[in-house]
């Protein structure tokens, strides 16, 4: 994707306010009018940055009255509006279009390193992903562990996928206290529990595990293996996030798949909330083709930005194509962070995706974008439903220099993405071809051929249809009340390359 550029399109004039002074009727000297100028203070740099960035790039600019250039006929009227806000975050929130219903994802941070760490998969964590479900009709809840990161505090404490827990620091979890108990401290102990299928009950045990959070970088390439399915070599990959720092590692997995001659691929995205659009392009190319003439997806921006792209680069600027190599990435000092590498493509004609309602944004883009080109089988439940992407905006001037007076950065939604056949707007998510739901009280290890979703895919490869009755479980995700990802600001983001404005758009 081409770099976007900060728009500088307003020539704003000052307003002069006149006041008249009177004079006495009997005076013989000529009447003299006195002028008084009311000076509107210049808005802060950060407030100007917020308004200009949202006006220039926000996907729904046309729907927000306070982002209309015509409303602010000169600089003073804009300053007067911006000066109402002492908190840039409040200004940002007030410029969003139907936040929570249409725009559920745009956000602002006071320190751009928070976004940089998120993009790199870095956070302070105990290193395990979990969800919480209600116990029966009570207000008590239990947690179930979905996966544990390698070498994390959770793994070192002995926690593993499928473990259940009911207490934190000896206190029973409830719908009203789990936030404070699980998200209010960097250190705590979990009390493990067991599930009895005969009575459909959760029983608290005596085993406790203690953990303290540390700063971790999560590797999304969680597990890969090759399974022999009645003579058909089938690659299986658990991939938990489109994190560009691990593009080379992802490519190496596909090199191994290619060397082993796999004929089918099962890509497990059930916990993948998205991430880099560029990484999604690379992954699509690894699965299907490195033909750079084929359109993978199409982008739509606000009217001004759309016109700018077309006039400057032509209609092809709105398309993303399959790729034949991973582009080198350097940091601000010119150091190579991600080296260039030829993409290892399998050239498959069919792919299976394991999904859930946590499968979002870049994951959905990948699935939707491959459908015109190959047989795509989706197994699980409806996905999340997010077809729009964001970009990181920092306060650069027209020469590309970063404003050092503040560290605010925005991550507004700027683009809508469709596949090559213009299919988008899947607000209710992508529907599965085979409906299946994992058993939250009996989660088997990833790669276990009896694990619910994987077994459905393997059976389909064998030509065995899935009997929904065989997937019946004691408890399902319908009882879920929250979890780690519900507290993550970045859980379901899809983003394009960060914007580094270096020229004006006239």
d(CA 301, CA 318): 9
d(CA 2, CA 72): 30
Q: What is the pLDDT of residues 36-49, one digit of tens each?
A: 556 889 999 999 99
- Strands 264-268 and 232-239, how do they pair? parallel
At residue 58's C-alpha, the angle toward residues 57 and 59, to 5°, is 110
For the chain, give the longest Cα–Cα distance. 113
CB neighbour list of residue 367: distance below 8 Å, 6 or more residues apart:
269, 353, 355, 376, 378, 383, 430
* Least confident among 84-93, 418-427, 435-444, 496-505: 496-505
In the predicted structure, residue 475 carries a pLDDT above the cut 60:
no
CA distances to 141, 173, 182, 388, 483 from 179, rounded to whole Å, are 12, 9, 6, 29, 9
- Chain-centroid distance, C-alpha 173: 29
Q: What is the pLDDT of residues 379-414, one digit of tens each?
A: 999 999 999 999 999 998 877 788 999 999 999 999
The pLDDT score that the predictor gives to residue 106 is 95
d(CA 134, CA 240): 25
In the predicted structure, residue 377 carries a pLDDT above the cut 90:
yes
Q: What is the pLDDT of residues 73-107, one digit of tens each?
A: 788 999 999 999 999 999 999 999 999 899 999 99
d(CA 193, CA 203): 5
In the predicted structure, residue 35 carries a pLDDT above the cut 60:
no
d(CA 75, CA 16): 12
* Least confident among 90-104, 305-319, 417-431, 458-472: 458-472
- What is the side-by-side strand order in the sheet with 409-411? 107-109, 409-411, 393-394
The pLDDT score that the predictor gives to residue 37 is 56
The pLDDT score that the predictor gives to residue 2 is 41
pTM of the model: 0.87
Between 497 and 49, the higher pLDDT residue: 49
CA distances to 79, 290, 319 from 84, rounded to whole Å, are 9, 52, 40
d(CA 208, CA 188): 10
487 confidence band (pLDDT: 50, 70, 90) = low
Q: What is the pLDDT of residues 117-154, one digit of tens each?
A: 888 888 899 999 999 999 888 899 999 999 999 999 99
φ, ψ at 499 (rounded to 5°): -95, 125
What is the rounded average pLDDT for all residues in the chain? 87
d(CA 350, CA 264): 7
In the predicted structure, residue 19 carries a pLDDT above the cut 70:
no
d(CA 394, CA 408): 7
d(CA 197, CA 410): 48
């Amino acid at each position: 994707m081409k770099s976007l550029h900060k728009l500088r399109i307003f020539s704003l004039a000052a307003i002069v306010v006149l006041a008249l002074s009177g004079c006495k009727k009997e005076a013989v000297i000529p009447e003299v009018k006195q002028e008084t100028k009311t000076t509107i203070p210049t808005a802060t740099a950060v407030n100007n940055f917020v308004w200009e960035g949202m006006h220039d790039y926000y996907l729904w600019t046309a729907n927000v009255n306070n982002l209309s250039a015509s409303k602010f006929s000169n600089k003073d009227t804009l300053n007067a509006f911006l000066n109402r806000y002492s908190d840039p975050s409040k200004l940002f929130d007030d410029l969003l279009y139907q936040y929570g219903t249409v725009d559920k994802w745009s956000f602002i941070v006071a320190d751009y390193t928070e976004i940089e760490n998120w993009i790199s998969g870095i956070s302070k964590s105990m290193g395990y992903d979990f969800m919480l479900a209600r116990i029966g009709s009570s207000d008590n809840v239990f947690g179930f562990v979905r996966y544990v990161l390698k070498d994390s505090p959770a793994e070192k404490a002995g926690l593993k996928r499928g473990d259940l827990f009911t207490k934190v620091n000896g206190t029973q979890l409830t719908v009203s206290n789990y936030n404070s108990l699980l998200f209010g401290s960097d250190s705590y102990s979990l009390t493990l529990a067991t599930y009895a299928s005969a009575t459909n009950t959760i029983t608290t045990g005596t085993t406790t595990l203690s953990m303290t959070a540390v700063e971790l970088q999560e590797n999304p390439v969680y597990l890969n293996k090759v399974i022999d399915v009645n003579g058909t070599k089938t690659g299986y990959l658990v991939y938990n996030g489109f994190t560009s720092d691990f593009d080379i590692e992802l490519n190496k997995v596909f090199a191994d798949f290619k060397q082993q001659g796999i004929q089918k691929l099962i890509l497990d995205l059930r916990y993948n909330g998205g991430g880099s659009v560029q990484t999604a392009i690379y992954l699509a190319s690894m699965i299907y083709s490195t033909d750079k003439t084929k359109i993978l997806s199409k982008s739509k921006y606000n009217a001004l930005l759309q016109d700018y792209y077309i006039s400057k680069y032509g209609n092809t600027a709105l398309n993303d194509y399959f790729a034949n190599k991973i582009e080198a990435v350097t940091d601000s000092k010119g150091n190579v962070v991600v080296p260039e590498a030829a993409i290892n493509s399998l050239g498959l004609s069919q792919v299976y995706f394991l999904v859930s309602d946590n499968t979002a944004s870049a994951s959905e883009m990948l699935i939707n974008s491959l459908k015109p080109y190959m047989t795509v089988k989706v197994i699980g439940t409806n996905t999340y439903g997010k077809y729009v992407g964001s970009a990181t905006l920092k306060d650069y001037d027209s020469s590309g220099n970063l404003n050092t007076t503040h560290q605010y950065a925005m991550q507004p939604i700027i683009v809508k993405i469709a596949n090559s056949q213009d299919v988008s707007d899947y607000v209710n998510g992508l529907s599965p071809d085979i409906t299946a739901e994992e058993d939250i009280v009996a989660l088997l290890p990833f790669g276990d051929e009896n694990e619910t979703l994987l077994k459905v895919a393997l059976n389909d490869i064998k030509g065995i249809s899935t009997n929904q009755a065989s997937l019946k479980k004691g408890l399902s995700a319908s009882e879920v009340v929250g979890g780690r990802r519900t507290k993550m600001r970045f859980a379901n983001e899809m983003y394009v390359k960060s914007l580094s404005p270096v020229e004006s758009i006239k």
